[in-house]
Chains A and B, each alone.
Chain A
Amino acid sequence: MRFFDPAAFVDYLFNHFLMGGVLVTIGLTLASVAGGLVLGMIIALMRMSQNLALYGFARTYIWFFRGTPLLIQLVVIYTGLPQLGIKLGVINSALIGLILHEASYLAEIIRSGFMSVPQGQREAAWALSVPRRTIFWRVTLPQAFRLMIPPFGNSVNSLLKATSLASVISVEEIMRRSDMLMQEHFQILEVYAAAAVYYLLLVSVWDLIQQRLESHFGRSLDRNAKSTPAKRR
């Protein structure tokens, strides 16, 4: 066993094959967050519904997808579904697994956001005869969204790293390509250190985005805000 080779580490850091994997990781993360948000919103609404069937489905969904490892979910989707005649391909299998998984977490985050909006907000809107739909889109959702950002940011952070599990079903993202590079020269530490740097970099970029989101959606609560906001039409 050799010592850590800094030159090899730097080489891997600028390795185009590995950078290609970074793009796949970014793509997987973005698509899973988008899909997870849509599905998570639907599940959250079902979970908050008065309808027992919808509520029961949502509870079961969340229980199952938060209760089983993502790794198992991915393997089952990738190897199990084809046996039922559903052939999805590697990327699609990974996306479906990641979205289903992420949605279960986001559903609870979304629900907690809605529950944190003070009841007085709804009462004021009711008293003003604001239609139900408008109350949802204009009163509760924007306020819930602000409260959701910190836990949502956490979840995206986890997801970004959890995409590495897709390597198990041979999606060529950062982790899979690191494995492949590692098998060439067995410079285990150097390759994975480079991969870790990429994850750190991506997470740091997301941190910045999250900060922007927080200050954007928190600006109306700033007592000392000087400027008035642009008119929204």
Chain B
Amino acid sequence: MTNDTHHGLGEKDQYAVRMEAVYKRYGDFTALTEIDLKVGKGERIVICGPSGSGKSTLIRCINHIEKHDEGLIFVNGIELQHNPKSIDRVRRETGMVFQNFNLFPHMTILENCVLAPMSAHRLSRKDAEDRARALLERVHIADQAQKFPAQLSGGQQQRVAIARALCMQPKVMLFDEPTSALDPEMVKEVLETMKSLVGDGMTMICVTHEMGFAREVADRVVFMDRGRIVEQAPPDQFFTAPQTERARYFLDQIIH
């Protein structure tokens, strides 16, 4: 992916994402407690943990889909503050893929992919369509460009969602349980698409229960429980010799 946007601040920070003492609360419930996480440029992180452990909340705080209550978040050196300008700058660095795809159902696949480049990057329709078609080609779905999302399978829809996010040329891709809503036979095609990004040096943060994917692709596994990061380690080490009781218990539960 070409790096054609210039961010003065971005050059100084060696991390793609840096979170320092981040807290997130919903009323009396503390969803994230003292989150410290540094993600290097080009690094691939898998976040796992039991349900309700705050994985999705963490990833959704990075692009301000959820608003963090305390602490600092930097994306490519840009501080994420609670004002529209800062939020917009950070969101232009990040792309997100959701569990439920969240394609726009009233637009064709192609329209889904050109909406943001045309409105946010002010690309001409032709340039936006060229970019979209190239990326749809890459996720092997170019022939469906004129269809509506409802006419595609879940796996195809999620691949479109990945292409749509890539159309904005993000530096960091955030995946929020991208295969959890898929039928089993469609999981693989989506994981393959995600793996294909690795070669581009894309920074990836992925919340997933796909431990095979974590082993194969991740540089580091981040294990969360009850809103805290409990353990971080390279996948080999995490899966074979987890350091904490909670991680051991979790792995026992999910690996059969």
Contacts and interface: CB of A to CB of B under 8 A. Distances in A.
A and B together in one complex: yes
Contacts of A124: 96, 98, 102-104, 161
A130 B95 contact: no
Nearest to A146: B106
Interface string A122-153: 01111111110010001100110010000000
Contacts of B125: 233
B105 A143 contact: yes
A139 B116 CA distance: 11
A208 interface: no
A217 B150 CA distance: 14
Contact of B115 (A123, A128, A233): A128
Interface string B135-168: 0000000000011111100000000010011001
Interface string B86-108: 00100110111010101111111
Contacts of B108: 220, 228-229
A121 interface: yes
Contacts of A142: 106
Given A123-B102, A220-B106, A130 B148 contact: no
A126 B66 CA distance: 11
Nearest to B164: A128
A142 B108 CA distance: 13
B120 A130 contact: yes
B205 to A, nearest CB: 13
B63 interface: yes
A223 interface: yes
Interface residues of B, number: 35
B225 to A, nearest CB: 25
Nearest to A131: B119
B115 to A, nearest CB: 6
A225 interface: yes
B151 A225 contact: yes
A118 B150 CA distance: 15
B21 interface: no
A10 to B, nearest CB: 47
Given A127-B63, A127-B91, A220-B105, A138 B150 contact: no
A166 B119 CA distance: 46
A129 B116 contact: yes
Nearest to A142: B106
Given A123-B65, A143-B105, A131 B120 contact: yes
A217 B107 CA distance: 11
A126 B65 contact: yes
Contact of A126 (B91, B105, B149): B91
A190 to B, nearest CB: 49
A222 interface: yes
Given A220-B148, A228-B146, A130 B105 contact: no
Given A139-B104, A222-B150, A129 B98 contact: no
Contacts of A229: 108, 146, 148
A128 B151 CA distance: 23
Contacts of B111: 232
A224 B152 CA distance: 10
Contacts of B91: 126-129
5 contacts: A121-B104, A128-B165, A220-B108, A220-B150, A223-B150
Given A127-B96, A220-B148, 15 more contacts: A120-B102, A123-B102, A126-B64, A128-B120, A129-B88, A129-B168, A138-B107, A138-B119, A139-B104, A143-B104, A220-B105, A224-B151, A228-B146, A228-B147, A229-B146
Sorted nearest first, the 8 A-B pairs with minimum C-beta distance are A124-B102, A128-B116, A127-B96, A228-B146, A134-B119, A120-B102, A129-B120, A220-B148
